[in-house]
Every structure is written in C-alpha cells, then in structure tokens.
Amino acid sequence: MTTQQAKPALQTGQMSAVAIDDNFTDLHPPFSTLQAMAESNRCLYCYDAPCVTACPTSIDIPSFIRKISTGNPDGAAKTILSANIMGGTCARACPTEVLCEQACVRNVAEDEAVEIGSLQRYAVDHLMARNLPHPFKRAAATGKKIAVIGAGPAGLSCAHRAAMLGHDVTVFEAKPKPGGLNEYGLAAYKMTNDFAQREVEFLLGIGGITIEYGKALGRDIALADVKAAFDAVFVGVGLGATNNLGLAGEAASGVDDAIDFIEELRQASDKSTMPVGNSVVVIGGGNTAIDAAVQAKRLGADEVTLVYRRGPEHMSATEFEQELAKINGVIVRYWAKPVEIKANGRLMGMVFEKTALDDSGKLVGTGETFEIKTDQVLKAIGQKIKTDDLAGMEISGGKIVVDHTYQTTAPGIFAGGDCIKSGEDLTVQSVEDGKCAAIAMDAFLKTA
C-alpha cells in the first residue's frame, strides 16, 4: 500500500478574497462586437446544417449566425430563443464541443469549428442588455390552468411555452430561488454576474406565470391536490437525491456531496468564506465531479485529487472538462474505487482499490490498494430521483416513464428534464423536454 501525505484541517481564508474573485471570473469571456462579426463570417450557412441536428433544441444555427453577420443581433437572439428560451445559460454551460460545434463542417476543412456557443451568448446577451419588451407575445387566454412542479430548466421552459400558448401557469418550487441546476448546480465560473436569476426574470416577462417558493412535492404539496386544482400538471423535479458510497464512516465530518459543495459556493456572497480542505478528494467521473474539483482548487486547496473507477475514455465529463481539471492543477487518478473511509472524529483519509476490466468487460478490483490522506471528500457518484409522492406514475430505471407526448402513466400529468430518460442529462435537453411537453399539454387540453 502506498500513502500520500496531506495537511489536516478544513478551513477558510486559503486565499485572499481578491485572488478568489479573480479565479471565478467568466470561464469563456464574451465576444466583443468585432469578434462576433468576424466569427459569424466563418459560417458556411449550410443547407440541412448538421449543427442544427446536433442541437437538442434544434436552434436554426445558420439563420441566427447570418443575422449576426448582417448586424442584427436582436433578430439572432429571437431565432435562438424561439427554440430555446434559456439560450443564454446553454451558451455558457452547454458542452457545445460534443454537440453543435462537433458537427460543424468547418472541422473537416480547417479542424476548427465555428464558435457557435460564443455567438449564441453574444446575441442573447445583446438582447437582454437592452431591456426591450419581451420578444414573444401570449396567445389569447384559454382559461386553462397548468401547474409546474420544479422551477429548474425543464419546468421554466414548460412554463414559458405554456404561457405563450395562452394558459395560466403556477410553478411550485422547493427552494427559495428559481433556476434549479442553473442557479444551484453549475460551477460559479460558468454562471457569473447572477446570470441565472437575470435569465429567469427575462423569461417571466412573457406574463401569466406565478412562482410559489418553499413548496416541495411530498412535503408541502401533494400531487393529488395539485392535479385536482389544475387542468394539467408538469413534473420537472430533477434528481433530488444523491447516491452513497455505502462505506462505513460516510457520515464523518468532511465527507460531503459535491452537489451540496457547489450549491453552497454558488450561494456564497463572499467566496473567501467558503471552507475548503487542504487535501481534497473528489470521487466521480462526470461534469459535477470536474466542477467540484476545479472549484476546490480555485478556492485555495493545496491538493485536489479526482479519483475515477474507470479510464478517461469512460468518463461522462467531456474532454474539454477533463482538460480543464488538469490545467487547473487537479490530479486525476483512474482505475480506482473507494473501499474505506478513515475517520476518528474527523476525516483522516480514504483507501482505494485499483480496478481493471476482466475478460468479459466487467469492472473488478485487483486487490492492490493505496491511501490518500485527506481532510475533505466530495462525492459526485450520481443522483437519483426522489420518489416522494409520485404515486400513479410508473418509475423504471430510476426515471419517470413517459410516452412520446411526455405524458406519464397518470393521465393529465406530464414530466420532463432529468427525472425522465429522454436524451442527455443536460440543461439543453431539459429545456427541450419542457418546451415539447408544454406543446403536448396544449394539445391534450384542447381535446380534454
């Protein structure tokens, strides 16, 4: 067994407030007008553009880029927002490198895609900064009432489209602020200047949407009561529970869920007061693990080690995110699984067993172990749905079952976002789910 040493004690003030603020500026600085014009002119405006097919919300990418190139960024923004009302967040946080930009035909000719995400952000930010009237109008009032449970990307997208279609929408949100993952779950350097809340304010400009906070399904509201009071219901509760390691000592001080660490940091008014370990271990291979690891390092942790049970090619985090971790000084150790938490009143270390794939492709332990001395462990090993008050809806594989119209097995109740299996677990997919579900609900109400 090999041992890595580290200083003990979780603490604040590892770095100055100024240094930390510098570490949490925009990961991708916005384009200037000159940069946007130059980049938009690289687009070939393809017919049947593959970038559009690669976008879960099917934004007409060549069209909006052409509008930027001709000096019409507001028109570009309206093209984007008509397909994806949360296009501002998606431009910042969407893994464009594996979606639209990966499909860009410029990759073949020049090995460098058009920077679609940056152009999208330029257009949407330009429109929002002008404080113009909301770009979309509501249809004539239908007299129908829709309930949306969860003010995350899926719920807000559904609420906006339903309001556009003339319905009155009430959103029930468990937390004190709207936005879901956009507000609480994305790295602070991806969502600077309180953009998540500014985007929600913009979205609500359509009118016809009321949000009630502190209303959690199963705790404060019952699904049966909501269904009785509304003509249709959309469930966009996300994945509110986290997976456990199943090891003794998991409740020790210093062992936390990465999503809670990210949320606390996002809500901190002064990031220099955020406690962080000297030696931090992050367990997981997804974007949440990367976000937690990079932010721990940027808060001043001496050493951050990300441990993943398989190889880099198996990680759900994109290549860009994996490289981001490394350039921020995160140590990445592959092919290792946690087997023991060492704690004696406080966290002291973790023991890992090296892993490999056997002849059948099954992941197995090799019997060889190593220990990392650590004072903070952040678990990013996946989330699962809270089944509180989901009676009447079929759950399969840890997700709510829906049909092609996003309707659950409970008539009149629809669902979307991370709580269903419709595609990638991404903000952009949740936005698409909410939009499509609202359109399906509108059709349902017209025939009910």
User: Alpha-carbon distance 99 to 54, whole Å?
Assistant: 5
Residue with the larger pLDDT of the pair 241 and 378: 378
User: Alpha-carbon distance 258 to 378, whole Å?
Assistant: 5
User: Alpha-carbon distance 438 to 161, whole Å?
Assistant: 6
Confidence of residue 283 (pLDDT cuts 50, 70, 90): very high
pTM (predicted TM-score): 0.94
- E strands within 2-58? 2-4
Beta bridge partners of 276: 11
pLDDT at 4 over 50: no
Read off the tokens for 438.
Answer: 């609202």
pLDDT at 7 over 80: no
Confidence of residue 10 (pLDDT cuts 50, 70, 90): low
Q: Report residue 102 CA to chain centroid gap.
A: 20
Confidence of residue 6 (pLDDT cuts 50, 70, 90): very low
pLDDT of 309-323, one tens digit each?
Answer: 999 999 999 999 999
Specify the pLDDT at position 8.
45
